[in-house]
Amino acid sequence: MPGLRASLKGLLRRQSDLLFPNRETREYRRWIAGRLSYRALLYNQPIDPGLLSILTPVWDGSPLRYLEALASAVVAQNQSGACEWVLLDNGCARRPLLEFFQGLRAHPWIKLHRLKRNAGIIAGLRSCLERATSRYVMAVDADDLLYPDALRVVATYIQNSNYPSLLYSDEDKVIGSSVYQPYMKPDWDPVLLLNSAYIAHLGILDRREALDLGVYSDPNTEGSPDWDAFIRFLIAGRTAAHIPEVLYSWRVHARSTADDASTKPYVLASQRAVLQRFLDARAASCFHIEHSPLLGGMAHWRLASQRTGSKPFPTVVISREPRPARSLLPASGDLLHLMGDDVQADDSCWWKDAVSLFELHPDIVMIGGRIRDPNGIVTEAGRIFGFAGPCGCPDRGRRFDDPGYFAQMWKQRSVSAVSSQFAVIRASFLIDVLRASPETASLAYLGAWAGARAFRTGKRVAYSPYLSGASNFDWNSLIDPAEESLFAELNRDLIPDHRFYSRNLSLDKPFAFGPFTLRPAIIP
């Protein structure tokens, strides 16, 4: 009975999404239709032969109608045969599938091979990877869908990004022929990557590097091949280029993880194996892997410190009186805790999370948290240069118990800046910030100046939901508009900052769709 109830619940949810799209879905469908028209003008260069191989293992459980739709999309955009499709018959026995495979042999660029028995996801992908011949490979599930221009867009970004080691794109979901729930992703963010596999769909890997790094070789990561691949590249010191275009539609149906992660019960164990690989590579024995306490039971994680004892760095309490930032004298030691005299922390062990982030990500120089008012409304969280002014918070005004856009309010991640109302900063970096900032820079706006300095020096600012507290005072009221204007003038080359807030989203209305642009966002 529980299984039947779950199936009926899933069916009702899918039918509701299909028949009664909400306002956000309707807006997105209009937006993506317009964006596709613009993309036809932006990405119109032919694809170099030998650049791209698609990897797709197919098993008996792969619905034929979805594979047919994928094949139609691939064939339509690869008329020149410049790309290669490595298609694996992963022990299939169903006659309709086998007959369909035979029909695909009419295309010489489709490389079909067969395994006698279903080897699983990881071994199937590895088999495809070893047979691919192009410079880059991209795994596409047999039941998912590529946008009609996906191959051209990927090729353009590879070439204009100077052939990076790996890339990933934005994605949405598709039910029937209707798309919805787009994920406009941030740029490469190793902090967010250790919380969840945000890079999945569409991932593009340098083939030779993937082979050298053992991609698709660990059966313990059976349910998380994309995440494992990107973690391997991260361990090797590689960074990924982000393609800020929706190229991949994750199919929602009764047997897909897009609809229900429980359809693959081995996913959680796979994800643990992925994160353990990272910890082993960092020799981080003082950490353990736990489910996010904010998103308990879901496929979201936290690398938690096992440290004990008291907070190992001093606290500077900042009053609400207007004061210049240079009045802040760093104490001895590596880290300094900044805390408004109006803030009450929710958890006395919050410092463990800050120390963990500094240890796991050596390029982090400042970490900030989230503040709520007495009504449970967020007044501070991660800030973005160019949002609602020179340096604003897209999550300001959200309820504290709202996980936000793709649950990012409840995940550690990189941001442009954080507030000094509740933050930890490297003392050496603070000295650098104070030297580089105008004499008139204030303590209330120190986070913005620190964020700009971090951007210019190749350092990272992180937001953590585990640095959390309450205040009955809104620090925005302390910020002088003249200082904001000066900040905007001195940092106009950094504004807007699209690294951690998609260029496809509005800078005025949080997480709404922004205007189209005729200029593709190509990494220089």
State the CATH number of the domain containing residue 251: 3.90.550.10
210 and 79 part of one domain: yes
Instruction: Quote the pLDDT of residue 256.
Output: 52
CB atoms within 10 A of CB 477: 8
Q: What is the pLDDT of residues 315-358, one digit of tens each?
A: 999 998 888 888 887 667 899 999 999 999 999 999 999 999 99
Beta strands 136-139 and 203-206, pairing class: antiparallel
104/109 Cα distance (integer angstroms)? 10
> Which among 241, 260, 279 is the end of a domain?
260
Which pTM was predicted? 0.93
3-state secondary structure 290-336: EECCCCCCCCCEEEEECCCCCCCCCEEEECCCCCEHHHCCCCCCCEE
77 and 201 part of one domain: yes
| 85 membership: H or E segment, kind and range | strand 84-90
Instruction: Quote the pLDDT of residue 320.
Output: 87
393 and 477 part of one domain: yes
Domain contains 275: no
Residue 520 pLDDT more than 60? no
Domain contains 143: yes
Instruction: Quote the pLDDT of residue 262.
Output: 53
Q: Is it true that the peptide bond before 490 is cis, omega within 30 degrees of 0?
A: no
Confidence of residue 518 (pLDDT cuts 50, 70, 90): low
Report which listed range, 5-9, 253-257, 445-449, is most confident: 445-449
Instruction: Quote the pLDDT of residue 13.
Output: 47
> Which among 236, 260, 284 is the end of a domain?
260
249 and 382 part of one domain: no
Domain contains 74: yes
Domain contains 276: no
Which residues, at least 6 apart from 223, have a Cβ–Cβ distance to it below 8 Å? 121, 264, 266, 267, 268, 269, 270, 271
> Which among 235, 260, 285 is the end of a domain?
260
Confidence of residue 19 (pLDDT cuts 50, 70, 90): low
212/275 Cα distance (integer angstroms)? 20
Percent of the chain with pLDDT over 90: 83
345 and 412 part of one domain: yes
521/499 Cα distance (integer angstroms)? 11
Instruction: Quote the pLDDT of residue 5.
Output: 52
CB atoms within 10 A of CB 119: 18
Helix, strand or coil for residue 99? helix
Q: What is the pLDDT of residues 479-509, one digit of tens each?
A: 999 999 999 999 999 999 999 999 999 999 9
Instruction: Quote the pLDDT of residue 120.
Output: 96
Domain contains 298: no
Q: Which residue has the higher pLDDT, 12 or 379?
A: 379
Domain contains 480: yes
Between 446-456 and 481-490, two packed helices, what is the crossing angle to 10 degrees? Answer: 0
323 and 253 part of one domain: no
190 and 327 part of one domain: no
Q: What is the pLDDT of residues 34-91, one digit of tens each?
A: 999 999 999 999 999 999 999 999 999 999 999 999 999 999 999 999 999 999 999 9
Q: What is the CATH number of the domain that holds 413?
A: 3.90.550.60
CB atoms within 10 A of CB 127: 20
Q: What is the mean pLDDT of the chain?
A: 92
212 and 328 part of one domain: no
Range of the structural domain that residue 416 is part of: 315-490
Instruction: Quote the pLDDT of residue 16.
Output: 57
Instruction: Quote the pLDDT of residue 333.
Output: 83
Residue 134 pLDDT more than 70? yes
Q: What is the pLDDT of residues 451-480, one digit of tens each?
A: 999 999 999 999 999 999 999 999 999 999
Q: Total structural domains in the chain?
A: 2
Domain contains 28: no
224 and 322 part of one domain: no
332 and 191 part of one domain: no
381 and 444 part of one domain: yes
Q: What is the pLDDT of residues 260-295, one digit of tens each?
A: 555 567 899 999 999 999 999 998 889 999 999 998
323 and 202 part of one domain: no
Residue 6 pLDDT more than 60? no
